[in-house]
Structure 1
């Protein structure tokens, strides 16, 4: 068998050097290059349009008109979409000698993704930060221009990372330009430039350049109209017609879609070729473009060297140091026009010549495409590849191999198991539509009791991910019951997930998912096989509190929080940390809330669990808010906004809502509250209604809009199945109703409140109880209760509640005509509230002070730091808190270079010369700095 080689003198296709028309589009690209060459500038752009419209030609123009820039290239390939990070590796491969410039976690993540290091699957956003840092480092020498063609065919992992990078570009002198059919999917929202057909005049010029003989002008105009000025169509369609057909207008394309008609023109060039040339082109469709691989595969198929000349003469592909098709539609035409048997032979040859040791996964993929039907050996190889793919590209990569493995599995039991594994991986990857199909495949085969329970859990996870509430709690209960006789620990873990999901869904849970029903079911959970750990006690205590009343769960939950984290892996802690944090809140335990929220945020950051980071930031923001450190809370909510933007998390902005409410920013708070209520109702996230309306009541009390606060408090506490979730709202409802003269409403809310506070018995709980009770009493008893509230709140970290107690006591003293005592309490309240930035309540205190002849001096604002942009403020705060530039970059999903660029602008704005002076000009913060 003779090897394939390129004979001397064989013409090969090369991209055209010039462009016809496109002055506007070239101007946009010229300005992009000019911006990137300017220090402190980066740009991203999606060049999109129909197949053949000239996107690739414009990218070639860009490559040829970027003086002083370094170029990096990648292209998506349809047949390679299932191979994780294939496109990203194309782009980054020439830069991998710079990996040592990255922080160790980012460097290891990228090396793992590219198969250079064996380790756990890296978080895709850590990989994104690594690529952003790598591009930034390379661009320090000279501006870097990255061109990514056919982005619609990038593998999922590469598309996710590259579009993440595009959204986070700042001051790196990097240009990232995508060519794509449409700016959809990951590309949606990026700056874009639409490329359409050429104007008629330019289209005629281009058509005339390829005509080989005379043509009737009406026929020429018809071609221009029917191709809609598409350059590739104008170049290719006439080549498939004879001079006579062109002259007379015969054989013109009919009503085929444009992409189809262009592909058909390529197919007409394929059909006359000899079988060996067609088979050579079919093997060349392998996206690696490796001529040595093509040579070896062609040898196995008995393809002679003369086949190369014929394929090159047809103008379909270039055979040089890389094998390159004239256009992706040419590759598509070659592959789709081939009989199935020929495609299978090509894939088998490619599998046979692919090194099993160096590239086992590509070999497995070719073997799968070569299989004429179910093949257990190939399926097993794909399953092994799935494990390696997961380690590099995470669950999305694993899912592709597992789905193919399930399809090729003959044994029904094995097929069901592989389909179930594939479904779990697709859910982890967020590919929810595919998961339904795979779960149906799994249930079509025989399943063990454990597998059937796993299907139930997986369907529940799918329901929770798609609607937050809905059927998830009931499905988890069913799965937990099925697991009881099989695995007691797994059953208990599933019951705990069910309880957590029911609390999250609250009043929007589906049938069988009500918190009380779920708690009753969880009460039947088998006992743990070991001494109860934190998660076991959380399950038993939460179930008892929901089933038998709040007080029944308190002692067990206290022990659970004290033990939480001991003998638990980081994954286990993260799995239930949200529930642990809200349990501390429901127990009115501010010390545990502080400790657990700090640990939650630390775990999410240090493990790179970005899916948990939004919840962790929200939990931390709430405790920081009520300690009165609104500046730190703002930093956390700003960071949360960055994370949500970067990861696409759907979590509502609860921290930002409460921040706006405490600041008395009615317009902002109402905008956020209204949007959140609509969103959580649609998604079945019932806990969001309670939280949003609690913030609404807080806002109303701060602004003195007591009727509005009463209505919001009543909406927040309308569902009484889970009274512990109402701890905040009941406090606000008592105050609002008492101020509105709605004595019975206030007394009813107070009775409900004492069922919680009395059983809790913490200083926070008893302080809230005393303050609320004082609003309902008169004379000496009211004064005693106000003083008790002050004493108890003074023993907590809750400075906002303490300040509000001073305010209410001062207001009561004014009504009692004790003006001197009232001024003392109101001035204390005002000073505390104003210094914390709790503007609504501060204004209430100021108004009361003025009514009795007191004065309240407004705090002087730090004018200079208000000159900073939002991003500059975030960076300055984190630098003040001691984070390095790389740490700030990782926190805000930007490059260290961009951090330094912004700091250079921050210092003169603030009138300082170094980061050590930041604490003098920015408000102090107790927000967590470096993760411990």
Structure 2
């Protein structure tokens, strides 16, 4: 039945959900809800109900508009505009990012993560005065960047007193709480239908109409208005179009019955999506349409013109737009372009001019190209691509047209819309292309191949680099570096020939002295001349990576540091990359930095901190709609010794990386499996895994695999395999010469020597210093096992106790158990394993607690974990209550072994 206070018919379930949401927000929590249902089912009415019920809240609203879906951040700016007085409260980097995205200031293109943090902070600051309700309708028409930022914010809202409610025609995001909106129940549908039917209509016809509309309120209200008495007598079945299409067609017929001036007014209102009434009237004045033209549209219930323009339903807007003749549509766009301020809103003016153009027009195409540049400056790659595509269509000169089409393809690629790129490149090839343009086109095509399948792009990138070699040496070096990177990723699945042929071609270029050039030289040497000659070149490249500008190379620099056993450079680069990516919200670099920093902390034995970063990797990936990285989780499970979990993760990763052709990761999964089984004492299984992993010299992980192979083979009794692996390892470690390399060599010598004691002692000494604590503990375990087998039980107990305690503190459960069994064999009693992080803390609370122990402030913790400071403060209060403490000073003691070692 109808609720007289709201005007809604039925909807008890939906109203209860929205009322509960408001109660939670009023109590200090944040809530997100995504409504979805077909056009006309009542989503907008429910949003109106929510706004009406939120009387003591602050409310901001926005809506996606189909015509605006190519304008970067258009919906987000509409939503945030009323909150901008709070902008000054944000950290400077977030304030600058948001101002740049909205075109308020000039600056470098902001990253989506940083913008997400800025909007999250803006919401939290606004809600600090009174609870905030953010309502977004027609999400299916949001511009891509607004959608990405809002999806990020939706996943990170927690304790800010903010409600974010979104409505779309189809499920928008599977990770968000959702509420499906269906049609009205039979009784309510019949009541609504009866409110618009005139005269007596057979009950069976009424039943059929309700059934055919599925209780859709808009269809029940609108479709009968277009039915003749005969149609009402027999229902309105027999239509093949969708329900939304039938409703829109009904609106089109009603619009067609209005006076010509009214139709033109409605068309202008449909094409001007912002709802700027003064601007609309100026355009209508140019079109010869007066204010009285709005009357018939209002009488028909199709349109209201007040302080803003409001259509009866988005289908009315689309019906008006789609029913217009092309010439009339161009005239409306031309009028709107003429009255749009070229200084305040140059992009919409260019867009209107583009749609008003009858044929090719270089002036308009140039204006669109400038709009693309502005969009790129705000980070709007999708918008830039749209501007450039339209500019290309309007470009009369074939060469310029091809150049703009290639630029549009590059923008689509940078925006992640790889499926759109091939058609654009095919269009560009229809025009005349110079040698440099052809090479540029091939490079974009190769990058698409890399984005789709990283292990298969070496050949296309190699070809593109060859085209560039005589045209642009710097671009050729960069492309050869990308080609070698693809071959490295392909690993055993790509074959050594691809790596070698690319390196041979790249060697013909003049060497570059910038970091990218130095890494290219190092990779060429590594590929063609072998490991030892490459070590000094790799070391020089690592020394050259000093500034934030070099962080784009982090993916390669960190691998190179591992390849030459430079744990100091590995630690430095991972820290620098993490700091840079968090400050700027650079997602690809952030995920790379988190991965390498996580593995660095595992090797140092700081498993609790590593787990926090591994969780953060998943959080960051999922917050931006990506799949969480498996490598960190696999590493953690393998080194902890959690067999079932690790094997399941490894099996999943092996399937995925084989499909993608990323053979390098197969080497890493083999290494992880070898670590797992060595820890568990399953040396035959470890031997099989390590032998597989060491079959191909993968950059960064090959040396690790050789070390695992020596240990597994020696403990399994396969001395020939152990000796052969030890010799391969010695070639590398002797060339690298770092303490880590020397420690690995001494340990391999100990495992294959008849007089190993001095080698064990040397290995333990070389692996000291803090960054390789896990490896040092493993060396102690092996030394202690040898001492016990030599019947030196007293000496063995001392060494094994140190290893056991270290493993227990770290949380390396399998190695701890292995050391415990050896201790028991010496006659020692082994204490119960430490429990690690307190079980009553959630993973997020554990991350916050660890960072608080490190001395980070609430805003710093919030920035690191992509939360608002208010959420961090709320979680800290919960942590204190759970631990029975009252301040940060007590955290480390309360957490015991789970705090930082």
TM-score range, shorter chain: over 0.9
In the other structure, the counterpart of 2:246 is 261
Cα deviations by residue, 1:68-125 (Å, 9 ceiling, x for unpaired): 2222111111111111111112211111111112111111111111111111111122
Superposed displacement of residue 912, structure 1: 2.3
Change beyond 3 A, Cα 1:662–1:248: closer
Change beyond 3 A, Cα 1:534–1:219: closer
Contact (CA 8 Å) 1:289, 1:323: kept in 2 or not?
yes
- Aligned counterparts of 2:40 and 2:619: Cα–Cα separation in 1: 37
Contact (CA 8 Å) 2:148, 2:624: kept in 1 or not?
no
Aligned-partner SS, 1:714 = helix
Superposed displacement of residue 670, structure 1: 1.8
- Aligned counterparts of 1:624 and 1:357: Cα–Cα separation in 2: 52
Question: Does 1:570 pair with 2:551?
Answer: no
Contact (CA 8 Å) 1:877, 1:922: kept in 2 or not?
no
Superposed displacement of residue 759, structure 1: 2.0
In the other structure, the counterpart of 1:534 is 515
Change beyond 3 A, Cα 1:904–1:815: same
Change beyond 3 A, Cα 1:359–1:596: same
- Aligned counterparts of 1:560 and 1:141: Cα–Cα separation in 2: 52
- Aligned counterparts of 1:697 and 1:785: Cα–Cα separation in 2: 23
Contact (CA 8 Å) 1:888, 1:899: kept in 2 or not?
yes
In the other structure, the counterpart of 1:516 is 500
- Aligned counterparts of 1:866 and 1:45: Cα–Cα separation in 2: 30
Question: Does 1:631 pair with 2:620?
Answer: no
- Structure 2 unpaired stretches of 5+: none
Aligned-partner SS, 2:723 = helix
TM-score normalized by structure 1? Answer: 0.93
Q: What does residue range 554-569 of structure 1 map to in structure 2 within 5 Å?
A: 554-565=535-546
Contact (CA 8 Å) 1:508, 1:686: kept in 2 or not?
yes
Which one of 707, 717, 733 corresponds to residue 757 of structure 1? 733
- Structure 1 unpaired stretches of 5+: 1-14
Change beyond 3 A, Cα 1:916–1:607: same
- Aligned counterparts of 2:239 and 2:743: Cα–Cα separation in 1: 81
Contact (CA 8 Å) 1:277, 1:308: kept in 2 or not?
yes
Aligned-partner SS, 1:612 = helix
Q: What does residue range 351-366 of structure 1 map to in structure 2 within 5 Å?
A: 351-366=337-352
Which one of 766, 771, 782 corresponds to residue 797 of structure 1? 771
In the other structure, the counterpart of 2:782 is 808
Superposed displacement of residue 859, structure 1: 5.5
Superposed displacement of residue 353, structure 1: 0.9
Cα deviations by residue, 1:441-491 (Å, 9 ceiling, x for unpaired): 222222222222222222222122221211x22222222222221222222
In the other structure, the counterpart of 1:283 is 268
Contact (CA 8 Å) 2:892, 2:899: kept in 1 or not?
no
In the other structure, the counterpart of 1:94 is 82
TM-score normalized by structure 2? Answer: 0.96
Aligned-partner SS, 1:112 = helix
Contact (CA 8 Å) 2:618, 2:628: kept in 1 or not?
no
Which one of 496, 519, 528 corresponds to residue 481 of structure 2? 496
Contact (CA 8 Å) 1:502, 1:513: kept in 2 or not?
no
Which one of 280, 286, 289 corresponds to residue 303 of structure 1? 289
In the other structure, the counterpart of 2:278 is 292
Question: Does 1:553 pair with 2:526?
Answer: no
- Aligned counterparts of 1:256 and 1:797: Cα–Cα separation in 2: 66
Q: What does residue range 98-497 of structure 1 map to in structure 2 within 5 Å?
A: 98-184=86-172, 187-242=173-228, 244-245=229-230, 248-249=233-234, 254-285=239-270, 286-470=272-456, 472-497=457-482
Superposed displacement of residue 650, structure 1: 4.6
Q: What does residue range 55-66 of structure 1 map to in structure 2 within 5 Å?
A: 55-66=43-54
- Aligned counterparts of 2:153 and 2:33: Cα–Cα separation in 1: 12
Q: What does residue range 831-846 of structure 1 map to in structure 2 within 5 Å?
A: 831-846=805-820
Contact (CA 8 Å) 1:387, 1:398: kept in 2 or not?
yes
- Aligned counterparts of 1:251 and 1:807: Cα–Cα separation in 2: 81
- Aligned counterparts of 2:802 and 2:209: Cα–Cα separation in 1: 83
- Aligned counterparts of 1:415 and 1:927: Cα–Cα separation in 2: 59
Contact (CA 8 Å) 2:354, 2:390: kept in 1 or not?
yes
Aligned-partner SS, 1:899 = helix
- Aligned counterparts of 2:570 and 2:232: Cα–Cα separation in 1: 83
- Aligned counterparts of 1:363 and 1:47: Cα–Cα separation in 2: 34
Farther-moved stretch of structure 1 (699-708 vs 310-319) = 310-319
Which one of 623, 636, 656 corresponds to residue 646 of structure 1? 623
Superposed displacement of residue 855, structure 1: 3.1
Contact (CA 8 Å) 1:629, 1:925: kept in 2 or not?
no
- Aligned counterparts of 1:749 and 1:312: Cα–Cα separation in 2: 84
- Aligned counterparts of 1:401 and 1:29: Cα–Cα separation in 2: 39
Contact (CA 8 Å) 1:533, 1:564: kept in 2 or not?
no
Cα deviations by residue, 1:627-660 (Å, 9 ceiling, x for unpaired): 2222221222122122111234456332222222
Farther-moved stretch of structure 1 (833-842 vs 173-182) = 833-842
- Aligned counterparts of 1:587 and 1:644: Cα–Cα separation in 2: 30
Contact (CA 8 Å) 2:331, 2:356: kept in 1 or not?
yes
Q: What does residue range 65-76 of structure 1 map to in structure 2 within 5 Å?
A: 65-76=53-64
Cα deviations by residue, 1:413-436 (Å, 9 ceiling, x for unpaired): 111111111111111111111122
In the other structure, the counterpart of 1:583 is 560
Superposed displacement of residue 247, structure 1: 5.4
Question: Does 1:745 pair with 2:726?
Answer: no
Aligned-partner SS, 2:62 = strand
Change beyond 3 A, Cα 1:120–1:131: same
Cα deviations by residue, 1:696-717 (Å, 9 ceiling, x for unpaired): 1001101101122112112212
Farther-moved stretch of structure 1 (277-286 vs 573-582) = 573-582
Number of residues of Structure 1 aligned to a counterpart in Structure 2? 897
Change beyond 3 A, Cα 1:795–1:128: closer
- Aligned counterparts of 2:499 and 2:487: Cα–Cα separation in 1: 5
In the other structure, the counterpart of 2:693 is 716
Aligned-partner SS, 2:455 = coil
Superposed displacement of residue 796, structure 1: 7.1
Farther-moved stretch of structure 1 (482-491 vs 203-212) = 482-491
Cα deviations by residue, 1:375-412 (Å, 9 ceiling, x for unpaired): 22111110001111122243222122112212222211
- Aligned counterparts of 1:232 and 1:878: Cα–Cα separation in 2: 53
Contact (CA 8 Å) 1:631, 1:923: kept in 2 or not?
no
In the other structure, the counterpart of 2:708 is 732
Superposed displacement of residue 282, structure 1: 0.3
Which one of 675, 682, 685 corresponds to residue 659 of structure 2? 682
Contact (CA 8 Å) 2:619, 2:628: kept in 1 or not?
no
Change beyond 3 A, Cα 1:503–1:557: same
Farther-moved stretch of structure 1 (50-59 vs 457-466) = 457-466
Cα deviations by residue, 1:827-851 (Å, 9 ceiling, x for unpaired): 2222222233222112111111111
In the other structure, the counterpart of 1:5 is none
Contact (CA 8 Å) 1:488, 1:527: kept in 2 or not?
no
Cα deviations by residue, 1:242-270 (Å, 9 ceiling, x for unpaired): 4x346534776733310111011111111
Change beyond 3 A, Cα 1:691–1:447: same
- Aligned counterparts of 2:654 and 2:588: Cα–Cα separation in 1: 22
Contact (CA 8 Å) 1:677, 1:689: kept in 2 or not?
yes
Which one of 803, 819, 828 corresponds to residue 802 of structure 2? 828
Contact (CA 8 Å) 1:203, 1:229: kept in 2 or not?
yes
Aligned-partner SS, 2:107 = coil
Aligned-partner SS, 1:867 = coil
Aligned-partner SS, 2:344 = coil
